[in-house]
Amino acid sequence: MDILNGIRVLDFGRYIAGPFCGALLGDLGADVIRIEKITGSEDRYTTPVNPGDPAGEVGANFLHLNRNKRGMTLNPKKNGAEEVLRRLVARTDVIIANLPQSGLKDIGIDYNSLTQIKADIILASSSAFGAGGPYLDKVGFDGVAQAMSGNMHMTGPADQPTRSFNPYVDFTTGALNTIAVLSALMHRNATGEGQEVQGALLASALTVGGASLIEEAMTGIGREASSNRGQTAAPSDTFKTLDGWVLVSAVGQPLYERWAKLMGEDEWLNDKRFATDASRGVHSVLISERMQAWTIERTTAEVIKSLEQARIPCGEVLAPKETLTHPQVGAMGYLEDVDYPGIGLFPMPRLPIEFSKLTRDASRPPPTLGQHTEEILKELGFTSNEIKAFRDQRII
């Protein structure tokens, strides 16, 4: 895909929010260069898929989030690195970094420093709490934002605030920063102006949980967590079957009516306790108990078949190993096999968007450590002797 052909991105991102933004831009055709430590940045090794491999471990998070990128090692704080960084920035359109403002300044990629080199540069930064306020220089990860946003309070059982296993705040921040970068590029095309766009984990978490915050502010309802059972409609819960679990979500009157008829509870259609989504939410324990009594007598396949025939949204609860081989995942090609040196083929979640007028290319594997360092430095006009000197000085 060549939507962003000719756009160069320097990805100083770490872990998820920054690298995911870079991966999405790479999916769209940008030349994304991942900048990392000489020994490999920490996120290269998180959740290793080949633990103990003498050739070097590589992590699942790194494999997932660094597709369609070139890789370069650089220590921007090392004496002598200034010219390398200057030439990189001078030929770059977008810089990604998920660091607080103090961290950006520390390595010379704060917006003021960048514009001294390239006036129309776009800096896409993301931090834990934003670029102002009392938490300006505090650090944090996805789970901290989940906790502070109210989302953990409403997840899991009432007596145990529960974090989502997968870091949705990080991914939301990366996706929103991608939208911001594309908007900034459009603005630059129209005006010639670059700018800094700033995301924050806490802001993303507040966006995801916005409805709960609005409800609390306006009504003071004081909701408490109820595990998987929904509180604003029913049935909306997970249910045990003879051989597994299913999730069912019936929101809206037509779905509820079809569900009640499937359960043989026609009299519930005229019961004031179940007249609206809101009232069904109030009585969701009773509705879940009725549903559970029905599912526990049937296999998962039987439950799914009956619910699908009634056009009620449902799905089996799958373990990751089951998801990998699910026929819908395979039919849509949501996972593509990518070959990485030393580990072979692995399933890569690809860009999850279908385009009717654009061809999506196969994903390129993430770079090995420093794989393209020399190639990139030569593009910047450095000689072989200069590159050797950089290596000797541990600049690259």
Least confident of 19-23, 103-107, 161-165, 172-176: 103-107
Residue-wise pLDDT for 98-130, tens only, equals 888 888 999 999 999 999 999 999 999 999 999
Say whether both 335 and 307 belong to one domain. Answer: no
305 and 259 in a common domain:
yes
Q: What is the pLDDT of residue 359?
A: 86
The domain that holds 242 is classified in CATH as 3.30.1540.10
In a shared domain, residues 164 and 17: yes
pLDDT of residue 59: 96
- Residues 389, 393, 394, 396, CA torsion sign: negative
- pLDDT tens string 12-39: 999 999 999 999 999 999 999 999 999 9
Structure tokens at 6: 């000719």
pLDDT band with cut points at 50, 70 and 90 for residue 290? very high
CB 284 within 8 A of CB 251: no
Q: Specify whether 115 is located in the same domain as 197.
A: yes
Give pLDDT, residue 360: 83
pLDDT of residue 61: 96
- Domain span including residue 40: 8-208+331-392
Q: In the chain, what is the straight-line distance between the N-terminal and C-terminal CA atoms, in Å?
A: 31
> Residue 152 to residues 43, 142, 207, 274, 321: CA-CA distances in angstroms?
25, 11, 14, 29, 27
User: What's the structural domain count of the chain?
Assistant: 2
* Same domain, yes or no: 197 and 114: yes
Tell whether 215 is covered by a domain: no
The residue length of the chain stands at 396
Residue 279, pLDDT above cutoff 90? yes
Q: What angle do CA 8, 33, 96 make, to 5 degrees?
A: 75
61 and 143 both lie in a single domain: yes
Q: Is the pLDDT of residue 137 over 90?
A: no
pTM above 0.85, yes or no: yes
Cis omega before residue 235 (within 30°)?
yes
